[in-house]
Amino acid sequence: WRLRTQALPPPPRQSLIGQRLHRMELEADEADLQVIRDVYGSRAQTLINILLSWDDFAAWYFALKESAPFMCPVPEREERALDNMHKAVDMFEIYERVNHRNSKSFLPHGAVFKMTRDILTVGDIWACDLSALELHNAAAKRTAEQSGARRLELSSSGQVRVPLKTSGAAGPPQLRKTKGYSTTVAISIMKHLLMQNVLRRGDGLYKVPDSRRNERLFGEHGRTKLLAAGIKLEKLGVDYDPRADTCVKAFVR
């Protein structure tokens, strides 16, 4: 009986709350999960679900950033779209666990259906991304409301009516010539946006890079501190790749 018992495979891992184990929980290191359970007790599974939700989002997002080439062959687009749907469904499942089946976010819906359809249509969805244009449009609207001119056309000269100094006096209106208007709505908005661009980035040899997204994400050559970015002291001076790390391991460290 002992020999037969020892030959049996180990029982499958089960979640503390009796749910079917999530894919990210199966791929996570059992030793790391056990450390969280030992420290946090009954609250451990909630914390694990939150960490796994971030890991699942990163797995979906990094795969989406490295999407298929633009207008690549249909079989390649179908393969990438199926992989995107699998990762998005996993992300939606762990989101539902964190929110107790009451998630109001449109992100999983867009990731499962909208992104998958766009990948099938064009392949690389970032080639057709209009986010930068929308942000620029929003900045132009804010500039127009706060400091933009109100004139629609330029004019070399103009006329203004001067009110009569004596109260109740009657007579023909007095018109005074002005020097005109040297700016319009479009010109004033363009000048303000250019000034903001120069103040933020500079225009000489010592200007900062055009984009700090990579520096903020990977903590390289930017103003973002490595410790604030979640990198420990032992990682300083080492090439750090967030794709090879997980939130569970970072939390345990």
Residue 62 has pLDDT above 60, yes or no: yes
pLDDT band at 213 (very low <50, low <70, confident <90, very high): very low
d(CA 236, CA 213): 20
Average pLDDT, the chain: 75
Structure tokens at 54: 């971030």
Rg, the chain, Cα only: 30
| CA gap 103, 161 in Å, rounded | 62
What sections of 105-244 are H helices per DSSP? 107-109, 115-122, 131-147, 185-201, 213-218
pLDDT tier, 227 (very low <50, low <70, confident <90, very high otherwise): very low
> CA-to-CA distance for 129 and 47, rounded, in angstroms?
34
pLDDT reported for residue 222: 45
- Provide the 10 A C-beta neighbour count for residue 51: 25
What is the rounded distance in angstroms from the CA atom of residue 128 to the CA atom of residue 167?
A: 64
Residue-wise pLDDT for 64-87, tens only, equals 888 788 888 999 999 999 999 988
Proportion of the chain above pLDDT 90, given as a percent: 5
130 versus 72: the higher-pLDDT residue is 72
Q: Does position 228 have pLDDT exceeding 70, yes or no?
A: no
CA distance 251 to 232: 11
Phi/psi of residue 202, nearest 5 degrees: 85, 170
Confidence check: pLDDT of 226 > 50: no
Confidence category of residue 216, pLDDT binned at 50, 70, 90: very low
Residue 233: both structure tokens together:
């002291």
Quote the tokens at residue 60.
């979906």
Q: What are the two backbone dihedrals, phi and then psi, of residue 152, each rounded to the nearest 5 degrees?
A: -95, -20
Whole-number Cα distances in Å, 81 to 55, 111, 128: 20, 10, 16
Question: Measuring CA to CA, which residue among 181, 107, 117 is closest to residue 149?
Answer: 181
pLDDT 10s digits, 119-129: 999 888 888 87
Question: Who has greater pLDDT, 85 or 164?
Answer: 85
> Helix %, strand %, coil % for the chain, to 5?
55, 5, 40
Distance CA 58, CA 217 (A): 12
* Domains of the chain by residue range: 15-128, 130-159+175-202
Residues 6+ apart with CB under 8 A from 18: none
- Other CB atoms closer than 10 Å to residue 10's CB: what's the count? 5
Q: Please answer whether residues 86 and 112 qualify as being in contact, where contact means their C-beta atoms are separated by less than 8 angstroms.
A: no
Give pTM, 2 decimals: 0.57
Query: How far is it, in rounded angstroms, from Cα 145 to Cα 189?
Result: 10
